[in-house]
Amino acid sequence: MKTVGILGIQGDVAAHARAIARVGAASRRVLRGEEIAECDALILPGGESTTISKGITRLELWEPLRAFARSGRPLLGTCAGAILLAREARASDAHERVETLGVLSAVAVRNAYGTQVDSFAGILDPGAAEAVAEFRGVFIRAPQLTELGDSVEVLARVDEQPVLVRESNVWAATFHPELGDDPRVHAAFLSS
């Protein structure tokens, strides 16, 4: 049975654990480099990317996380987690700079849907991933992914915007696939 690590610094760790249980895999909350190295797949949850980034520095996890990405095992970042994967995080307002892993060829624009519409649900249009057609994505102060590299595959869009992308083993969702009871994004990720 696969063990999926969920980075446990901050964010919706418990909801991801429930989604993973629904697709029949085991999960564990990880906070140390050795724990990350032992996992078969890894999820960086949504939350607040500034907080998670600072936690990664405090726990000295930048290199263990980059090593995991290089190992070729499946790595999924959702919302703030997607921001942390990007080669650069930008903010349209005066947010402080967020250090990122730089393992996804994309720029993440934080809070890109503005401050008035902080939260909405959007139905996914499949790009390369028919398996997630009509998935109801919950977007909470969500980022947008721009300047995608040639090797980034768009798996789904909402209103033309890429919301689920994949570059080799690295997956990023700008929404929260762990909210609700539809496990198809986790299932697709874990079967990759």
Q: Does 124 bind ligand GLN (CB under 6 A)?
A: no
Find, among 88, 96, 31, the residue nearest to 60 by Cα: 31
Closest CA to 84 of 59, 101, 97: 101
In the region spanning residues 67 to 96, those forming contacts with ligand GLN, defined by CB under 6 A, are: 79-80, 83
Minimum CB–partner distance for residue 47 and ligand GLN (Å): 5
- Whether the CB-CB separation of 165 and 135 falls below 8 Å is answered with no
Contact 177, 186 (CB under 8 A): yes
Q: Does 177 bind ligand GLN (CB under 6 A)?
A: no
**How far is it, in rounded angstroms, from Cα 169 to Cα 69?**
7
CA Rg value for the chain: 15
Q: How far is 43 from 21, CA to CA, in rounded Å?
A: 14
Name which of 14 and 131 has its Cβ closer to ligand GLN. 14
Q: Give the nearer residue to ligand GLN in terms of CB position, either 121 or 133.
A: 121
Active-site residue 153, yes or no?
Answer: no
Contact stretch for ligand GLN (CB under 6 A) within 21-29, 42-50, 65-73, 183-191: 42-50
- 21, 25, 131, 140: which one binds ligand GLN (CB under 6 A): 140
- Does residue 14 touch ligand GLN according to CB under 6 A? no
Active site residue 176: yes
Residue 79 bears catalytic tag: yes
Q: Which of 35, 39, 167, 178 is catalytic?
A: 178
What does the DSSP 8-state code read for residue 160? T
Phi first, then psi: give them for residue 54, nearest 5 degrees: -65, -40
Which positions lie near ligand GLN, rule CB under 6 A?
Answer: 46-49, 79-80, 83, 110-111, 140-141
